[in-house]
Amino acid sequence: MELDREEFTRIFTIFKEESEEHIQKLNEGFLSLEKEPNQMSLVSELFRHSHSIKGSARMMGFSSIEKVAHAIETILGKIQKGEIKADKEVMDALYKGVDSLAEIIESLGHGKDEEEIRSEGILEHLSLFTTAPKKEEVSVKKRKSKKQSPRSPEVYLEKDRERPSTPSKPMASESSPPL
């Protein structure tokens, strides 16, 4: 079933509003987590917010949002299990991930096609924490390459100018198997 433009816009508006609420809760929760990094009930709540964004993005067919939200969720899960600590580097990565989610959603709201939005940079940055060894404190300094430097979310999401414009991505119902 293909949605007409008006119906898609209505559904996207709901998705955007709900995602913005989850993003706000994530940012507020990250502030609290920085002050008290051992609040596991808060980490569980933040995990659920990220999970909700991931699920909604999957239903909408927005794989870039789904992947970034999944990476955030994975980091929060590792904090919850005690595999990594919510130190400054981890928190900075979480903030960058959430900022990237907000920017991707905003770009889609302004009519950009998802294929025009690159999320590989932020996913690579978040992977520094998602692939951390179990039961060891994560040290970003050990895993950073010499060429790697901090980047703003804008750099992670820059438009891929070499990719030709393509028609809109089909709705999830057209390209994904039923759940």
Sorted by where each begins, the domain ranges of the chain are 5-137
Pick the CATH number of 5-137 from 2.60.40.10, 1.20.120.160, 3.40.109.10, 3.10.450.40: 1.20.120.160
CA 156 to chain centroid: 12
Mean pLDDT for the stretch of residues 116-136: 80
How confident is the model at residue 159, as a pLDDT?
41
How confident is the model at residue 115, as a pLDDT?
78
pLDDT digits (tens, 9 = 90+) for 35-49: 999 999 999 999 999
How confident is the model at residue 166, as a pLDDT?
42
Tokens 């438009």 belong to which residue? 159
| Res 161 pLDDT > 50 | no
Top pLDDT among 170 and 110 is at 110
